[in-house]
């Protein structure tokens, strides 16, 4: 599934069969602050949150931005995946 950056809504989104999964963020001067992640309840434990986080972080990297992970899920994902730790502001 593809993760898109919906800048108008300030969130990364992934459309799933069970509904929209998303990570809310604030963007300011090259820093993306991830504030909240949500995945439809029926998809919990199926790796959808990780897929969403990975897609979002790949977009942050592609844009040349840095990350502040205020969302506990995103922070834990970055901690477990060393390839994204260089994004931290």
Residue 38 pLDDT level (bands cut at 50, 70, 90): very high
- pLDDT class of 84 with cuts at 50, 70, 90: very high
Domain range annotation of the chain: 3-87
Q: How confident is the model at residue 68 (pLDDT cuts 50, 70, 90)?
A: very high
The 3-state DSSP class for residue 82 equals helix
Q: Which of 46, 36, 39, 43 is nearest to 11 (CA)?
A: 36
Calculate the alpha carbon distances from 26 to 9, 29, 37, 52, 82 in Å. Answer: 10, 10, 13, 17, 23
* Protein fold of 3-87: Aminopeptidase (3.40.630)
């Amino acid at each position: 599934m593809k993760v898109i950056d919906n800048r108008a809504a300030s969130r990364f989104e992934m459309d799933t069969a069970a509904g929209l999964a998303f990570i809310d963020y604030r963007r300011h001067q090259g820093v993306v602050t991830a504030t909240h992640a949500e995945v439809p309840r029926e998809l919990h434990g199926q790796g959808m949150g990780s897929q969403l986080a990975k897609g979002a972080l790949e977009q942050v990297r592609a844009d040349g931005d840095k990350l502040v992970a205020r969302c506990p899920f995103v922070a834990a994902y970055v901690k477990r995946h060393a390839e994204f730790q260089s994004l931290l502001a």
